Structure 1
Amino acid sequence: MLNSGLLPFAWRVYMPPMTRALTILGIESSCDETAAAVLRLEDGRATLLADVIHTQLEEHAPYQGVVPEIAARAHAEIADRTVAAAMKQAGLSYAGLDGVAATSGPGLIGGVLVGMMTGKAIAQAAGKPFIAVNHLEGHALSPRLGNDCPFPYLLLLVSGGHCQFLEVRGLGDYRRLGTTIDDAVGEAFDKTAKVLGLGFPGGPAVERLAREGDPKAFSFPRPLMNRPGLDMSFAGLKTAVSRAAAEAPLTDTRLANLCASFQAAVCDVLAGRARRALEGFDPGEGEEIRFVVAGGVASNQAVRTALEAEAAAFGGRLVAPPLRHCTDNAAMIALVGAERLAAGGIEGIGDLGAGARPRWPLDEASATRDPAYATGRRGAKA
């Protein structure tokens, strides 16, 4: 069955898994990074042949946040050069590829369309299959880029747009356990930075100042901590920071204390929910407990330390992508494309008829049945 424009991730007739080496071009453009990577998958091991990432920090810094129209134009201006740079770095022509993968959602639709159409054009011109990749699946598999991380594992996906716990049982097999009911944790970091006048991007700025502050200086809320389940909330915490910031002049000491106290609250919430998730996670008899953290916030060292302690308490290990691959990148998109192609889920021209999706949950059944956000015309978010 061919993919429709609304279901670019629908799997078709399965073929026997491929055993030969596969070389995939990946393209990522869902937010404010234009990225291209070439990856080779052989015997289950991924080798990066090229990895190019262009950020748009200068373009968005005056607005202290990503402006979708500016992002889309910037992607359109540099997408072809980014791909050309990656191919040159890999020392390959398009004929040397086995497929082309591109982020097809979720994300800012203008940027998604730029990357997706670039990938489709290359795939069609070179006669290679096109693989439409869910950006969140890229994050979910990103720890497999530089670690021994077989399925199954427990995943905490923490980024600017998403914050959720999932069971990752295999390629394309994801079960949502809990999600934020309002702001994602990365969004809370960025908005806190904006309130405190720390510039853009906000997350790294908050983390830097937090190292100099007292995490107990302010008693910020830990939302939903006493409620059952694994859902989270960060909007109230963000509001509490805003109110505290308005109560007195923002001296250097006060700024550092606000950042440290905010970050400590985030770590407590994530660690508490991780503890509950680990209690209920069963990897199977004799299997190691692997707790994966991925997404942009996974680069925060305080968050990593808190989650590492929780994993160790259950006799497991925390697995995280290399720092370069925590934030948006094309290597993870190429990996998903390679793994899907190797599994035999792609035929002929692949997903060439797929449409871009601003929303695309990993566990679409749970998101549709019990959405954390109103679905609207764009579909369920999480």
Structure 2
Amino acid sequence: MFWVQFFSRHASVQKILAISCVTRRTSKSVKHGRSVCLRSIFFNSVKYYPTKLVLGIETSCDDTAAAVVDDTGKILGEALHSQNEVHLKTGGIIPPVAQQLHRENIERIVKETLYVSGISLDELSAVATTVKPGLALSLGVGLEYSLKLVDKYKKPFIPIHHMEAHALTIRLINQVEFPFLVLLISGGHCILVVAQGVSDFLLLGQSIDIAPGDMLDKVARRLSLTKHPECCRMSGGKAIEHLAQQGNRLHYELRAPMRHHRNCNFSFSGLCFNATRIIMQKEKEEGLQEGHLLSCVTDIAAAVQHAVALHIVQRTHRAILFCIKSGILSQTNATLVVSGGVASNQYIRRALQIVTDATNFNLLCPPPRLCTDNGVMIAWNGIERMRAGLGVLHSTDGIRYEPKASLGIDISEQVGEVAIKVPSLEVSLNELATINL
């Protein structure tokens, strides 16, 4: 009677039994050469069935995403609604528009995720949601929806730092032990940190103005790349990367900024200004008004992309050397993890590979779909925090979203005081620029 009640109450066991009944009739045990019994299949299945299931919800910017991940790292289900096409038409993300689209799609995305995963809300161990940093109006939608869920189903709530989730995504697919160096490059952030543990980071440097993804988007808009037949449905960064493959970056000189500042901070606003200056000059030469496509868009795209890559590479190279010199990381077992939306850019990845090869570091990047904002990384960060016993809330009183939030302990001034001179890799990077990616 106990087993009948147990089977009837647990949907997961019913699924195991359904599979077991078929396997019992058709499978053979390779080891013993006989049919596999129902009892052994059932107990083996129970043994490996996950003990923790986390629903992750992400609405920090313009993607509404959700996923269910178990404590073995298996992605049981995920769904995502992109607002990209809407924002391409408006020339950028308009926060109230993003907010409304999140409101219209979040319930559907969560239901799709649960349906695909085969998991009910009652079976979840916790709900993890991005609460910082990001667009205030977007964060608010995800938090409000999540708090209603955890209140209704009496589930623990795990507030997630968006950049921490990006940093730890690599541990979902690779056995990466702490500590390791992380470069987070996206539309809203450019950060170098050392991940010493879950929720334990040392901040080496960050952008003092705009992020590389934002800069690439601005240049793409100034070039009117949405009017280019090959790029009309691409984001700005993707359009720049695509056209750069056809261009010659040597036709325009865009020097990497902050060459005389021996720290690990970044700056992209000057690059954006200089690229705009070149575009305006070419428009004047070709007799074109703003909004028309230049004949040299591929060359400008190549020059811009190379300058961004060179700047990122130089600062990352210094971070690697600082970590080795200070003893934060070991030369023999050192890893650089690169994540965030801009990490999907293959040219920048190749440039970073040159640096890691030169310094005997191991370069790891999540697959492109996990570099951009997604629900999987939020759910996985929830699993990591549950394991570490960090930030799992059983009461959500006073929980708020934070549009701006730093990551880790800031030691960037110490990095600047050491003032490490970075060896030139210009020759190798110049060779990279001639490769057809």
Partners of 1:252 and 1:159 lie apart in 2 by: 27
Using the TM superposition, give the Cα deviation of residue 122 of structure 1 relative to its aligned residue in structure 2, in angstroms: 1.2
Query: Relative to structure 1, is the Cα distance of residues 341 and 353 closer, same or farther in structure 2, using a 3 angstrom cutoff?
Result: farther
Partner of 1:63: 90
Partner of 2:344: 299
- 1:256-275 correspondence runs (5 A): 256-275=298-317
Name which of 202, 205, 210 aligns with 1:175: 202
What secondary structure sits across from 1:125 in the alignment?
A: helix
Query: Is contact 1:214-1:256 (8 Å) kept?
Result: yes
Q: CA RMSD in A?
A: 2.2
Query: Is contact 1:105-1:358 (8 Å) kept?
Result: yes
Query: Is contact 1:178-1:230 (8 Å) kept?
Result: yes
Name which of 253, 256, 279 aligns with 1:219: 253
Using the TM superposition, give the Cα deviation of residue 226 of structure 1 relative to its aligned residue in structure 2, in angstroms: 2.5
Aligned-residue identity in percent = 35
Name which one, 1 or 2, has greater alpha-carbon Rg: 2
Name which of 276, 284, 298 aligns with 1:242: 276
What secondary structure sits across from 2:407 in the alignment?
A: coil
* Aligned residue type for 1:32: D
Query: Is contact 1:120-1:352 (8 Å) kept?
Result: no
Name which of 104, 122, 125 aligns with 1:77: 104
Name which of 294, 302, 318 aligns with 1:276: 318
Does residue 30 (structure 1) correspond to residue 75 (structure 2)? The answer is no
Query: Is contact 2:275-2:304 (8 Å) kept?
Result: yes
Partner of 2:354: 309
Partners of 1:137 and 1:333 lie apart in 2 by: 9
Partners of 1:166 and 1:123 lie apart in 2 by: 32
Partners of 1:349 and 1:309 lie apart in 2 by: 46
* Aligned residue type for 1:328: D
What secondary structure sits across from 1:216 in the alignment?
A: helix
Using the TM superposition, give the Cα deviation of residue 57 of structure 1 relative to its aligned residue in structure 2, in angstroms: 1.7
Partners of 2:367 and 2:74 lie apart in 1 by: 14
Partners of 1:352 and 1:135 lie apart in 2 by: 21
Using the TM superposition, give the Cα deviation of residue 365 of structure 1 relative to its aligned residue in structure 2, in angstroms: 5.6
* Aligned residue type for 2:408: D
Name which of 124, 132, 135 aligns with 1:105: 132
- 1:322-361 correspondence runs (5 A): 322-346=367-391, 349=394, 351=396, 353-361=398-406
Partners of 1:84 and 1:220 lie apart in 2 by: 48
Query: Is contact 1:143-1:322 (8 Å) kept?
Result: no
* Aligned residue type for 2:334: I
- 1:81-160 correspondence runs (5 A): 81-160=108-187
What secondary structure sits across from 1:247 in the alignment?
A: helix
What secondary structure sits across from 2:249 in the alignment?
A: coil
* Aligned residue type for 1:349: H
Query: Is contact 1:129-1:352 (8 Å) kept?
Result: no
Query: Relative to structure 1, is the Cα distance of residues 356 and 156 closer, same or farther in structure 2, using a 3 angstrom cutoff?
Result: same
Does residue 41 (structure 1) correspond to residue 71 (structure 2)? The answer is yes
What secondary structure sits across from 1:191 in the alignment?
A: helix
* Aligned residue type for 1:135: H
Query: Is contact 1:131-1:351 (8 Å) kept?
Result: no
Partners of 1:91 and 1:52 lie apart in 2 by: 13
Using the TM superposition, give the Cα deviation of residue 361 of structure 1 relative to its aligned residue in structure 2, in angstroms: 1.1
Higher relative contact order (CA 8 A, sep 6+): 1
Partner of 2:191: 164
Query: Relative to structure 1, is the Cα distance of residues 352 and 78 closer, same or farther in structure 2, using a 3 angstrom cutoff?
Result: farther
Name which of 352, 366, 373 aligns with 1:321: 366
Using the TM superposition, give the Cα deviation of residue 345 of structure 1 relative to its aligned residue in structure 2, in angstroms: 2.2
Partners of 2:316 and 2:410 lie apart in 1 by: 23
Partners of 2:395 and 2:387 lie apart in 1 by: 13
* Aligned residue type for 1:208: H
Query: Is contact 1:40-1:48 (8 Å) kept?
Result: yes
- Give the unaligned 5+ runs of structure 2: 1-48, 227-233, 287-291, 415-437
Query: Relative to structure 1, is the Cα distance of residues 141 and 305 closer, same or farther in structure 2, using a 3 angstrom cutoff?
Result: same
Deviates more, 1:245-254 or 1:144-153: 245-254
TM-score, normalised via structure 1 length: 0.87
* Aligned residue type for 1:254: C
Partner of 2:231: none
Partners of 1:251 and 1:314 lie apart in 2 by: 41
Per-residue CA shift, 1:29-83, capped at 9, x if unaligned?
01110000000113xxx11111211101222122111110000000001101100
Instruction: Name the one with the larger helix percent.
Output: 2
Partners of 1:20 and 1:90 lie apart in 2 by: 13
* Aligned residue type for 1:235: S
Query: Is contact 2:130-2:159 (8 Å) kept?
Result: yes
* Aligned residue type for 1:261: A
TM-score, normalised via structure 2 length: 0.76
What secondary structure sits across from 1:176 in the alignment?
A: strand
Query: Is contact 1:131-1:350 (8 Å) kept?
Result: no
Query: Relative to structure 1, is the Cα distance of residues 285 and 297 closer, same or farther in structure 2, using a 3 angstrom cutoff?
Result: closer
